[in-house]
Each structure stands twice: as C-alpha cells, then as structure tokens.
Amino acid sequence: MTGPPNPGDRAVSQKVAKVIVDTLQAAGVRNCYGIVGDTLNVIAGYIDKSDIDWVHMRHEEAGAFAAQAEAQLMERLTAMAGTCGPGSLHFINGLYEAYRNRAPVLLLATQIPSSELGFRFIQEVDFKSVFKDCSVYCDMIYTPEQALRKTVLACQTAIAKRGPAVLIVPVDIAKSQMHDETPYRVQAPRPVLRPSDAELDHMAGLINRGEKIVIYGGSGCQHARPQVLALAERLKAPISHTSRAKDFLEWENPHNVGMTGLLGNEAGYHTVLECDTLVMLGADFAWKQFYPDKATIIQVDDDPTHLGQRHPVTLGLTGDIAATLDALLPRLKPRDKASFYDHALARHAKVIEAHSDKAHKPGPDDTIPGKFAATVIDRMAAEDALFVADDGTVGVWMLRHMPANGKRRTFASLLHGTMAGGMTSALGLQKAQPDRQVIALCGDGGFAMLMGDLLTTVQENLPIKIAVFDNAKLGFVEIEQKTEGMVDLYTDLKNPDFGEVAKACGLWGGTVEHASVLDASVGRWLAEPGPALLHIKVQPLELVMPPFTEAEPAIGMALYTARAVLQGKGGDVLEMIKENL
C-alpha cells in the first residue's frame, strides 16, 4: 500500500506514539475522531504533527458513529481514539454499528500504565473482554518492540476483514522508545473471488430449470450493478432488493420490484414469496418469514459464514458478485418475458403510484405527515446529496419515499438498529466529503440522545443539514406496542423547540408545523451555508404500514383500540384513523 510516510523507513529509535501515528497515516487514515485527555495526550501530540485531521467530538459514541460512516462511504480505514477507562468505553455502541456494517475502523483505546494492570487501579478496564464481540481484531501492545508489528496487524485486519480493530495502548508504552527496525508494512490486496467452474455449472443448471426466477440483491451488489442488471435481462427475472441495496439496484432499473421485508412494499414481498427459484446475491437478510418456503434458493456471498444462516438454501457459493456473474452469464439460457415477470412489474408500478400519491399529500388541518416531509426534502435536496436517518419511522420515510438516483447515498442503522446514529453519522460523511450536501433525518428521540454534538458542527465547521421529525414520542416503539394490543406506555416525549436549541449552539435554527409553509422552510434551511437545523412538527399518530397483514398484529391493533377507548383515549384512536385513513 502506498502512502506517506513508510513506517519501515525509520531511525533506529522512535517513540511508540509516533510509530503508531505514522503507521495509521501510511495505511490511509485521513481523520481521527475522539476526545483527548490523560493517557491519550502523547498520541494526540503526534497526530497534530501528522497529516491526519483530529475531529474534536463532544461524546465518544458520536465519534464512533462518525468514523464508521466515513469508512462506509469512502471504503477506507478511519480512526478514533479514546482515553483510558470511560473514554474508550463510550465508543462501544458505534463499534457495534461498524461491526455489523463491515466498516473498516480502528480504535486506539489508550490504557492505564501497564505496571498497574490487574490491581483494580482507577479507570482500569479490561478492554480485550469488552470489545472482543464487536471487533475483528483486539489486542494490546505489551512491549515497545511490538508497537509497529501490532499496529500494522490491526490496520491490515480491519481492512481485510472490513470491521473494527481495537488497539490497546498503555500510556507508558506509548511514551517509550522502540528500537526494532524490522520494516513491517500494511498489505491490502484485493483478490478476485469466485466459485469454481463446477460450482458455476451447478448454479447455472438450477437456474436454467427454474420457471419463476427472482433475483434478490443485497449490499454485496454495490460494485456489481451492471452484472446484476445483465442477469435480470437474460433471465427476464424481476429484481427485489434489501434496504441496504437501495442505492445500487433501485434507480433506472427496468426489472425492479422494490424492497421486501418490514420496510419494503407489497410488490417486492409477494414477488419473492411466489417465485420457484430465488437467486440471492450479496444478501444476508435476517427475517426468515420473508423467504419462500418451497423454492430453490441459491445464495452467493463473499463471506461463506453467511451461506444458509438465515434460511436453508439449495446451493451456497462463495464469491464476489461481479466476478461470479461475469463467469455465470455465458452458462445461462436467454429467456423471453413471461406472465410472472410482467405481473410482478405491473404490480410494482401500481404499488409505487399508490404510495407516492399518498406521500405527496399534506395531512388534515394543514398538518405535516412524516412521509410528506420526506418527499419535500427529497424534491429540494441536491441531486448528489448524502442522507442518513435515525432508526425508527424517519428511517422508513427515507427508504420508502426518497428514491435512489445513482448519485445520492442513503445510510441508516439497518443491522444494529440503534438510535442516535443520524446526526452523528452525518458528521463523518461531511468530514469525508466537505463539498457535498449532507442531510441528517433525525427522530426527536434519537436526536436528543447525542444532542451535545450539535456543538461539533460549529467547532469543526461541518455544514450538515439536520431535520428533526418531532412527533413528541418514540413513534416506532409506540407502533410496536399497539400491534401487541398495548395502550402506549412510556413513549411520550416532552421536547424543547429544537430550532431555538440550535440557535443557542451557534447554528441556524428554524421550526415549522404547517404543511402550507413547509416548502419555504425547507428552502431556507437547505440554502444556509453553514450547519442548520429545521425542527419539523409531524403528525404524532402516523403509522408505518408493513407490506402484508398478519393476524397477530391486526388482533393487537383491535385490542389496542378497545383498551384505548375504555381508558378514555378514544380521541387518540379517532386521530390515528384520521391521520392514516
């Protein structure tokens, strides 16, 4: 791997902290997110002298979200660093997010002096035990002579296995001199991986025997869009996709039938269930109820541990999607369009039209439905904007009502399902691409969790645009409770005027609660040159409708309605009906 400087070309003796920083820089690290202090100070000093930018966060968890977002977008190693004890502990939720998103990040978890380890010293934490479940590498530098070798191994493992590496650095080791001249360097080969010819022949045979073939694409199709579309064209097969594949397979795709899963639509859901042959490409979709019961299922993934882990498959193959399809396509018989294909596409067009019609309508009495706010922002945002949404209803509105166009990207916590990742991930996206419009779509609950890093937008001059969708509750949780027959419990939120909070922090801030002035408000917000926050008061009882109706949630909704009326909350029931029907 190229990059300044070469850590192998060093003098006989250098301080360990400098060796670590030089190695990170050579491995391609551009930014390091964290909060300085005590055991981290010596490393921070060398970061300041390097080409790596230090991003001063207000909470380490926010720094972890930002780092993993940068790593996902840029597909490069990104660093974070924390002090001993509580400082580095704060990164853990964001490390889990990075682990599940396969984002190559590295945490420098500095530690108390090595002579005090094992004696319950103040701020002592066993980081190897804490981080072992959310990392692809986790180890400590025990002696100065290990510094270069272990830093290289940490960087190389994060890049090769696409996940978090944790390098634990006791403060006395960081301050020590390293005398070993062995020139270890980070190696980052990118091999082409595909199944054997015999396996490809078997796969082709299964596909050629199918009558109702459906392609199901996941995030592993990111660099294989032309090959996936060529496969669909040859087979005349509809393409359904996961939410994480939206950016790669949705736009200008004549074979698209949309997402399946709880966040998907009826067309994608029914098309997958009705097929007799399902070709899964780079998809590790978790919910087994969305798989067909009697179909031939073929799964291709670059991680062999994913094969068949969610649902039994007929054939599982290991390979990169692009290379695998390049080798597979000549083995497949071209087909003409059939009624299954035509019906799937027609159903998708009808569903999208119905969803779009509803989403583009304001609510009764000039209220703002969340999906309506999403369509307005979608229409007025830059054509290459980066969107990131909090987990919950606002994430659903982004995925369903902000179509991909091949230039934009969308991010959300779709595998870890954590709150508070919206604004914080936007910080990393903006730091990585400062000339691009970055929009954070936040829920009121998720935004408030790490609201302190509003200050980071000003301090670091990161002009992100933050929309807070305020329904005064934990909306997705309340929907879950309703489908279980519960009257909502502990979900209400007493919120401040977030626009005024933003102003107090030094940002542009505004608030809107009427649909008739939403266009003007969004226009002013997006036109701001610096960081800006728009507080959008949305309908409080808007539901997220799944692509199908199961008996249990339907009965739960009926029980909720009866219990709400009996408890004097009949007005809420009527308002819910009014907002959704």
Residue finishing a domain among 296, 323, 348? 348
Which H/E stretch holds residue 409?
strand 409-412
Q: What angle do CA 322, 326, 331 make, to 5 degrees?
A: 140
Q: Is residue 4 part of a domain?
A: no
Let me know whether 24 and 150 are in one domain: yes
By the 8 A CB rule, do 53 and 81 touch?
Answer: no
CA distance 284 to 307: 8
Which H/E stretch holds residue 509?
strand 508-512
Let me know whether 158 and 207 are in one domain: no
Q: Is residue 577 part of a domain?
A: no
CA distance 8 to 180: 10
Residues in Cβ contact with 204 at an 8 Å cutoff, skipping those fewer than 6 apart: 328, 331, 332
Q: Is residue 503 part of a domain?
A: yes
**Structure tokens that stand for 325 in this block:** 């399809």
CATH of the domain at 367: 3.40.50.970
CA distance 178 to 152: 15
Let me know whether 393 and 536 are in one domain: yes
Let me know whether 279 and 371 are in one domain: no
Encoded amino acid at 56, one letter: H
Q: Is residue 499 part of a domain?
A: yes
464 backbone dihedrals φ, ψ, rounded to 5°:
-70, 155
Alpha helices in 363-406 (DSSP H): 370-380, 393-401
Strand intervals (E) in 437-491: 438-443, 465-470
Q: Is residue 355 part of a domain?
A: no
Q: What is the pLDDT of residue 533?
A: 98
Q: What is the pLDDT of residue 556?
A: 53
Model pTM score: 0.91
CA distance 26 to 496: 46
Q: What is the pLDDT of residue 10?
A: 46
Let me know whether 204 and 134 are in one domain: no
Q: What is the CA radius of gyration of the chain?
A: 25
The secondary structure of 48-112, three-state, reads HCCCCEEEECCCHHHHHHHHHHHHHHHCCCEEEEECCCHHHHCCHHHHHHHHHHCCCEEEEEEEC
Q: Is residue 374 part of a domain?
A: yes
- For 358, the 3-state DSSP assignment is helix
Which one-letter DSSP state was computed for residue 492? B
Let me know whether 397 and 321 are in one domain: no
Let me know whether 127 and 166 are in one domain: yes
Residues in Cβ contact with 357 at an 8 Å cutoff, skipping those fewer than 6 apart: none
Residues in Cβ contact with 438 at an 8 Å cutoff, skipping those fewer than 6 apart: 385, 386, 388, 426, 429, 430, 463, 464, 465
Show the domain range for 74: 14-178
CATH of the domain at 302: 3.40.50.1220
By the 8 A CB rule, do 326 and 226 touch?
Answer: no
Beta bridge partners of 240: 216, 258
Mean pLDDT by 10 residues, the chain (581 residues): 46 87 98 97 98 98 98 98 98 98 98 95 96 98 97 98 98 96 92 97 98 97 98 98 97 96 89 97 91 96 96 97 98 94 96 93 96 98 98 94 97 96 98 98 96 98 98 79 76 94 98 98 98 96 68 50 52 52 51
**Structure tokens that stand for 283 in this block:** 């998809």
Q: What is the pLDDT of residue 183?
A: 93
Residue finishing a domain among 178, 210, 239? 178
Let me know whether 257 and 122 are in one domain: no
Q: What is the pLDDT of residue 289?
A: 87
Q: Is residue 353 part of a domain?
A: no
Let me know whether 380 and 514 are in one domain: yes
By the 8 A CB rule, do 268 and 547 touch?
Answer: yes
Domain count for the chain, please give it: 3
**Structure tokens that stand for 291 in this block:** 């798989």
Q: What is the pLDDT of residue 97?
A: 98
Let me know whether 36 and 124 are in one domain: yes
End-to-end Cα spacing for the chain: 58
CA distance 538 to 369: 5
**Structure tokens that stand for 144 in this block:** 């100065």
Which one-letter DSSP state was computed for residue 487? P
Q: Is residue 152 part of a domain?
A: yes
By the 8 A CB rule, do 444 and 493 touch?
Answer: yes
Let me know whether 263 and 379 are in one domain: no
Let me know whether 238 and 128 are in one domain: no
CA distance 18 to 28: 16
Q: What is the pLDDT of residue 1?
A: 41
Q: What is the pLDDT of residue 315?
A: 98
Q: Which of 313, 257, 266 is nearest to 285 (CA)?
A: 313
Q: Which of 113, 76, 25, 355 is nearest to 190 (CA)?
A: 76
